[in-house]
Structure 1
Amino acid sequence: MTIKSGTRILPTTVVGSYPQPDWLVDREMLSKGVPRTRLHSLWRVSNEYLQQAQDDATILAIRDMERAGIDIITDGEIRRESYSNLFANSLEGIDDKQPAIVISKAGIETPIPRVVGKIVRTHAVEVRDLQFLKANTDLPCKITLPGPFTLGKQAKDEYYRDDEEMVMDFAAAVNEEALALQAAGADIIQFDEPWLRQDPEAANRYAVKAINRALQGLTIPTAVHLCFGYAAVVKGQKPTGYSFLSGLSDSIAQQISIEAAQPKLDLGVLSDLSGKKIMLGVLDLSSHSIEDPGLVADRIRSGLKYVRAENLIPAPDCGMKYLPRHVAFGKLQALAQGAQIVRNELG
C-alpha cells in the first residue's frame, strides 16, 4: 500500500543523493571534492549511451530506497556530478567554459562558474528527472534544487557587482524551475542551502528574502536543507550548532532539514523553529558502520523532546553519494526500522 506524504507519523526520507555505481562514475575522481563547474570526465559511459546508463542507475537507486522501506524518495540525483553544478551551469549568464579559480584554506584549487551576464533560466533542467522518477515508483517523490543563496556563493560575480541583486536573480531562476517541477507532479521540493552557515552576515541580510522569492507560488510542501558539508569532504570535528538557523523561521518553507547525528547537534536549537516540520539527520555519514536500528530510534526520541511527532521527519544527515552503495542501503534500512520502533511506541 502506498503511503502518501504527510499521512504517516515519522515518515522517513533521504536528503537527496544516493551512491552512483562504479560503472557509471569514476568514484576516485568523485572523492576529490564537490564540482561547481561541469565535470564531464567523471562519467565512465560515452555521451552516446550516458542518458540510458543514468536511467538504469536511477532505477537501481529507486529500488534500493523502496526495498529499504523509505517513505518519501528521490531519484538519487544520479544524473548529477554534484548537488548544484547541473542546475547552476544551465543558466544564461553563466560561463563555466572559462571558470574562475578559488583556493581553499587547505590550498585546494576549485574551478567555479563566472557570472558574465544577467542570470536567466531558459529551459527545464530537472523536469525529465522528476518525470522519470514518478514513472518508476508509487511512493511520494521529492526533488531537490540548489538554493539561491548557495548558488550565489558558488559563483564569481563579474556582472552585477551587487551580491544581493545577483542572488535575487538566481532566486527567480530557481523559482521558475520549481514551478515547472510542481506542474510536473513533484510531491515535495527541497532547496539545498549549505552555504547559509558559511556567511551568516550576508545570510541575515538577504537569504530568507531570496529563499522566499524562490518559493513564490509553490503550493506543495517545500523544504530547506542545511548541513556542515559532506562528511567525505569536510574532515575533522563539525560544529555542534548552526551560525544561521533561527532566521529560517521567517521563511515560507514548511520543512527545515538539518544535520544532527555526526556533529551531535544541540537539539535545543529546534525550539527556534517551532512552526516548522523538521527533517532530522539521524544517520552519521562520516562512518561506514551501519547504525543499529535501536540507535536510530534513540536519535529520533531525542528529536521528539523538542518537536512533536507529527512534525518530525527522520532522514540521513546529508546526501549519501560518497558512501559505498551497500553501506548506504544498510543505513537506510536502519533508518526505516528505527522509525518503526518509535512509531510502535507512540501507538
Structure 2
Amino acid sequence: MPGHLLPTTVVGSYPQPDWLVDRAMLSKSIPRIRLQGMWRIQRPLLEEAQDDATIVAIHDMEQAGIDIVSDGEIRRESYSNRFATALDGIDADNPAIIISPAGNKTPVPRVVGPIRRRYPVELRDMEFLRRNTTRAAKITLPGPFTLSQQAQDDFYHDDEAVAMAFAEVVNAEAGDLQRAGADVIQLDESWVRSNPQAARRYAVKAINRALDNITVPTIVHVCFGYAAIVPGSSKPRGYPFLTELADCCATQISIEAAQPRLDLGVLKELSGKSIVLGVLDLGDPEVEPVAVIAERIRNGLKVVAPERLVVAPDCGMKYLPRATAFGKLKAMCAAAARVREEFA
C-alpha cells in the first residue's frame, strides 16, 4: 500500500474501448440483467479481448500516476449485474419490471430461490489484476443492500432477508478475493441514498455481514449515480444516508462530492473512517485544471486529517471518453502531488 499522504485511487470502472463494446447501447441505461449485445467481440474470443482491454486500463491508470489501481471493471456490463446474475436463486432470463418515480421501466432479476454462489465470480479478475500490476490493487463488489434493491423478491418475501442472503454470498466472494491478493475491497452501495428508510433498518447490518472476517482495508462507496445518466442539476448537496455508515465495519467511506458540490462538513460525523473523496466532476466534459482539483482536495482537508484522506474521482469513469478519463486522472494525480508537497 502507498506510504505517502493523499494516495490516489479510482472508484472502479474505466472506459471500455469502442472496439470492445457498443458505447451507444451502453449509454442508454445501467443494465440490471445481462446485456450481451453490448459486446462487439463474439463469445469465443471475448475473454481474450477483455483481458487485452483490462491490460490497457491498468496501464492507463499507472501512467496517470494512480497509486491504488483497479481492473477497470472491463469485463462488466454494469457494476452489479455480472455478479448478481451469476448466483443461484436468481432468474435473469424472465425479469421483472421496476418502474421508477419518473416512470422509467427497468428489467431486473427476480429472486426465485435461495441465493447461493455457484462459483467465485470475480476470482479470475482479481488474479489477472494481481499478475499485471505491482501497485496496490483494488477490486469492487456490489453491496448487499444495493443488490437487494435491484431485484424483485419472489421467494423470501422479506426485504431484510434478501439483503442478508446477498450479504452471505458477497462475504464468500470477498474472502476469495482477499486470498487472491486484493489489497483493498470495495462495496458499491449507491442505493442506500435511493431508499434511506430501508437502509436505516438493515443496510449497516448487511454491510457488516458482507465484510465479516475481511482483514484488508475495506471501502463502502456511495454516490448519486453516473453523471452520464443522472445530471448534476438533479443531484442534492447532501446524502439522505451517509453518517449512519459510521457504524459499519468498513475502514473507508468513498463519496461523490465534486459534481454535487457536497457540503463536506458532514464528514466530521465520520471521524472514525478514512474518506475516499471524489474530486473529479465526471459531468464536466473538460479535464479540470490541476489548481481546481487541488483546491477540492484542500477543502476536504479542512474536515479530514491528511492521513485519513484518499483522492479519487467522484464515481466510476465508465461512460467517459477514454482520453477524457485519462486526462482527468493525470490531472488528479498532479493535484494530489501538489497538495502533498505542502506538507513537506
TM above 0.5, yes or no, is: yes
The CA RMSD over aligned residues, in Å, is: 0.7
Distance in 1 between residues matched to 2:101 and 2:164, nearest whole Å:
28
User: Cα deviation per residue 1:274-332 (whole Å; 9 max; x = unaligned)?
Assistant: 00000000000001110111111100000000000000001000000000000000000
Q: CA deviation at 1:117?
A: 0.3
1:102-181 pair list within 5 angstroms = 102-181=98-177
Distance in 2 between residues matched to 1:44 and 1:225, nearest whole Å:
30
1:2-41 pair list within 5 angstroms = 4-5=1-2, 7-41=3-37
1:321-336 pair list within 5 angstroms = 321-336=318-333
Distance in 1 between residues matched to 2:8 and 2:270, nearest whole Å:
20
Q: CA deviation at 1:53?
A: 0.3
User: Cα deviation per residue 1:67-126 (whole Å; 9 max; x = unaligned)?
Assistant: 000100000000000000000011100000000111233433211000000111120100
Aligned length: 343
1:250 equivalent in alignment to 2:241: no
Q: CA deviation at 1:8?
A: 1.5
1:60 equivalent in alignment to 2:56: yes
Distance in 1 between residues matched to 2:247 and 2:261, nearest whole Å:
25
1:88-103 pair list within 5 angstroms = 88-103=84-99
Distance in 2 between residues matched to 1:74 and 1:33, nearest whole Å:
23
Distance in 2 between residues matched to 1:116 and 1:8, nearest whole Å:
48
Distance in 1 between residues matched to 2:228 and 2:280, nearest whole Å:
14
Q: CA deviation at 1:237?
A: 2.9
Structure 2 counterpart of 1:87: 83
1:242-281 pair list within 5 angstroms = 242-281=239-278
Structure 2 counterpart of 1:226: 222
Distance in 2 between residues matched to 1:200 and 1:83, nearest whole Å:
21
Amino acid at match of 2:149: K
Q: CA deviation at 1:189?
A: 0.1
DSSP 3-state at the match of 2:219: strand
Match of 2:45 among 21, 45, 49: 49
Distance in 1 between residues matched to 2:101 and 2:284, nearest whole Å:
25
TM-score normalised according to structure 2 size = 0.99
Q: CA deviation at 1:54?
A: 0.2
Q: CA deviation at 1:243?
A: 0.2
Distance in 1 between residues matched to 2:147 and 2:103, nearest whole Å:
22
Distance in 2 between residues matched to 1:279 and 1:105, nearest whole Å:
30
1:240 equivalent in alignment to 2:237: yes
Distance in 1 between residues matched to 2:293 and 2:307, nearest whole Å:
18
Distance in 1 between residues matched to 2:99 and 2:21, nearest whole Å:
25
TM-score normalised according to structure 1 size = 0.98
Distance in 2 between residues matched to 1:299 and 1:26, nearest whole Å:
34
Answer with 29-38 or 104-113: which moved more: 104-113
Structure 1: unaligned runs, 5 residues or longer: none
Distance in 2 between residues matched to 1:170 and 1:105, nearest whole Å:
25
DSSP 3-state at the match of 2:279: strand
DSSP 3-state at the match of 1:114: strand
Q: Which runs of 4+ in 1 moved over 6 A?
A: none
Distance in 2 between residues matched to 1:128 and 1:317, nearest whole Å:
27
Amino acid at match of 1:147: G
1:299 equivalent in alignment to 2:299: no
Distance in 2 between residues matched to 1:234 and 1:335, nearest whole Å:
23
Structure 2: unaligned runs, 5 residues or longer: none
Distance in 2 between residues matched to 1:233 and 1:139, nearest whole Å:
31
Match of 2:178 among 179, 182, 189: 182
DSSP 3-state at the match of 1:283: coil
Distance in 1 between residues matched to 2:306 and 2:80, nearest whole Å:
31
